[in-house]
Amino acid sequence: MNIISYIHFLFSIFINLYPFIIPKNKYDYLYIYYIILLNLSWMIFNGECIISLILKIKENNNYKIGSKVSADDIKELIGNKLFNIYIYLCLIFSSLSYFYVIYRNNYQEYLYIFLLFSITYGYFYLTFKNQNELLKYKIFKIFKYIFIFISIIFIILFTNYLYKNKKF
């Protein structure tokens, strides 16, 4: 088993529980950036986590991005049954964590909209295990590009908010 698999698993747990184990602090804004960028990378890489993608390409140079969306390294670590539970718990806790960090810092309300897009994408991801199948639907392609655009806008707006309010 690769050490990266253990780090990937433990880091995902930490990220999903971050605001519940780390009290409010001046670096909470980095968490918001991380979540937005993580979701953005999933959209760009057709549902692939960058860590899982690197491991898959390392194993198979001909791997097509999004053809087998799954954190196989984590699945191998905890087993199929636990992995299915883990994926749903990640969606729930990442949503709750993101919401809580926005709430406890009184960040701008538009950031809550991002949460709706994130949950919707997470639902699509869990429903369609193969992103290439999902990309056959024009409505999802449209959603994907709108989500990418909105993510970039949120990064700009959030950066502007932090700068104006001297939060960095």
| pLDDT tens-place string over residues 22-45 | 999 999 999 999 988 888 888 888
Average pLDDT over residues 115-129: 71
CB atoms within 10 A of CB 93: 18
* pLDDT number for residue 152: 92
* % of the chain exceeding 90 in pLDDT: 29
Cβ-Cβ contacts under 8 Å for 60 (sequence gap 6 or more): none
More confident residue, 55 or 135: 55
Domain boundaries along the sequence of the chain: 3-15+29-164
Average pLDDT over residues 80-102: 88
Q: Output the CA torsion sign for 148, 151, 152, 153.
A: positive
* pLDDT number for residue 33: 92
Cβ-Cβ contacts under 8 Å for 154 (sequence gap 6 or more): 36, 110, 111, 114
Confidence grade of residue 81 (pLDDT, cut at 50, 70, 90): confident
DSSP state of 62: T
